[in-house]
Amino acid sequence: MDMVAGEKNGAGRTADPSPDHPLAAGVDHVPVPRAIEAGKAPPHTGSLARRMMVIAAGWITILLLAGGFALERTLTDLVEDNFDDQLEYNMTGMITSAEIIDGEVWFSRSLGSQKFMEVDSGLYYQISADGYDPYPSRSLWDRTLDLRADHSVTTSQFYDSNQFANEPLRVLERSVQLPGSDTRWTFAVAASRDELVEQIGRVRSILVWSFAVLGLGLFIMAALQSIYGLRPLRRVRAAIQRIRTTGTNRVTDPLPLEVQPLVEELNALLAHSEKQAEEARTHAGNLAHALKTPLTVVNNAATAKAPDLPDTVIREATTMRRHVDHHLARARAVGRRAVGLASTPVCESAEAVRRAVERLYPNVRFDLDGKRDARVAIERQDLDEILGNLIENAAKYGGGSVFVTVDAESIGNERTGQCVIWVEDDGIGIPEEERIRIFDRGARLDTGKPGTGLGLAIVRDVAEIYGGGVELGESEDLGGLLVKLSLPRGPAQTDVPA
């Protein structure tokens, strides 16, 4: 019995590609950027080291500016508070030692600062009251303070004054009523703000230099961290260059833990490419070996001018065409598998194949059951090719009934990594001793029906390329042949990359 039909124009069949078609080379056409085709470097998104240093420099600058501003305000406030505390200290000393004798103010002890006795020393005091002449410090000499605080308030009042040319002042005033006097006296202490400005300037200068040195150190640290941290990537580049120049096929250099997954994926890619190259060499060798004998037969017949030369050419050309079709099917499957992870709905493909086969075999009854949402990790064209072969064979060699069950072995059980598809018919089946041989290329048990004997061989090879397999058995329900097709499950539609 021949389990495969010949050239396909119906379910799951693909026409022969033209010489200019991308499939003529056995691999789907994948667009390649022009820069890569021309051998130029692919576009990049910039330097990782530069990006890391720019990010580090930006954050360091922001943090230093924010921290410097906050620290500057804090230290400036401390300096100003300390300056005011000194004025408050002198004020307290004046009030506690002041006495009114015969309408004049006298101090019972010396004041805390000698500057009150030095002319234009920058530290001044003045005591005044309504109806009395102001009593200034000797440091004021012939000047008086222009007081402007609210004298009805008994608490200390600070303010800045510019009444003296080229000498801004910080003034503290307080109104008190001394013992033995009914008069409210106003005490004022003033100090030149030049010293305060100088202190604030020194603080700011120290902060600027300190933060500049700290920022430079952090920038250098970030640069060294980027250079040293990215050194393993340069080692990976050197290892890849050695692969290209020395012929090694793996990256074996010890690398940091963060880079190791990249190296593992790279080694897996190299292994995958090596496997594909080996498969390509094997296919080329098998095809060459398969074509060698028919070509030799044709050449000998032509050389000997055999009378059956036309029949010999037709027969051997058919054999060569069979081998070419088989290897093209494998090459197409390998090429599409390399494109990426596919996800194809099984029932959708099976329905399309069933509609096509029904036009060829209108008297056959089809039944499709199982998981309606099952998906397999295989390209749609290859799934159509596989199901087309199996369903058409079941229709051709069965007794009139074909059952297809999708994800059969997971019904009622936990889903496994393989989606198993059953294709059953009510024919006479295949003897157990012939079930292995029938997968050979060109093997046919029924030579009375047209076919090339490639169908099951193509089904097996394409399924194995995608990590699946195919087995033959006996259908318990229909009594004919049972084909168990196993294919890896595909991700859900929402998981498929766009």
458 HSE (CA, 13 A, CB side):
33
Q: pLDDT at position 41, please?
A: 60
Residue 236 one-letter amino acid: V
Q: How far apart are CA 23 and CA 35, in angstroms?
A: 24
Mind listing the pLDDT tens digit for each residue in 193-231?
988 899 999 999 999 999 999 999 999 988 888 888 888
Mind listing the pLDDT tens digit for each residue in 376-389?
988 888 888 889 88
How deeply is 39 buried, as exposed, middle or buried, from its count of CB atoms within 10 A (0-12, 13-18, 19+)?
A: exposed
Q: How far apart are CA 451 and CA 487, in angstroms?
A: 26
How deeply is 433 buried, as exposed, middle or buried, from its count of CB atoms within 10 A (0-12, 13-18, 19+)?
A: exposed
- Does residue 130 sit in helix, strand or coil? coil
CATH of 344-495, one of 3.30.565.10, 3.55.50.30, 2.40.40.20, 3.40.50.10860: 3.30.565.10
User: How confident is residue 81, by pLDDT bands cut at 50, 70 and 90?
Assistant: very high
Element (H, E) at 473: strand 469-474
Q: pLDDT at position 453, please?
A: 43
Token pair of 163, please?
A: 């009444």
Hunting for tokens 């190299």 — which residue is that? Answer: 270
Integer CA distances (angstroms), 69 to 197, 206, 211, 357, in order = 17, 13, 11, 81
Element (H, E) at 214: helix 194-229
Strand runs (DSSP E) across 108-235, as ranges? 123-128, 135-136, 157-161, 169-177, 184-192
pTM for the predicted model, two decimal places: 0.47
Element (H, E) at 397: helix 380-397
Mind listing the pLDDT tens digit for each residue in 132-168?
888 888 888 888 888 876 766 667 889 989 888 888 9
Q: How far apart are CA 482 and CA 285, in angstroms?
A: 33
CA dihedral 167, 170, 175, 178 (to 10 degrees): -80
The domain limits of the chain are 234-252+259-339, 344-495
Q: pLDDT at position 24, please?
A: 38
DSSP category for residue 55:
H
Q: pLDDT at position 111, please?
A: 79
Q: How far apart are CA 131 and CA 185, in angstroms?
A: 11
Task: Using a pLDDT cut of 70, give the percent of the chain over it.
Answer: 78
Residue of higher predicted confidence among 1 and 479? 479
Q: pLDDT at position 494, please?
A: 41
Q: How far apart are CA 173 and CA 187, in angstroms?
A: 6
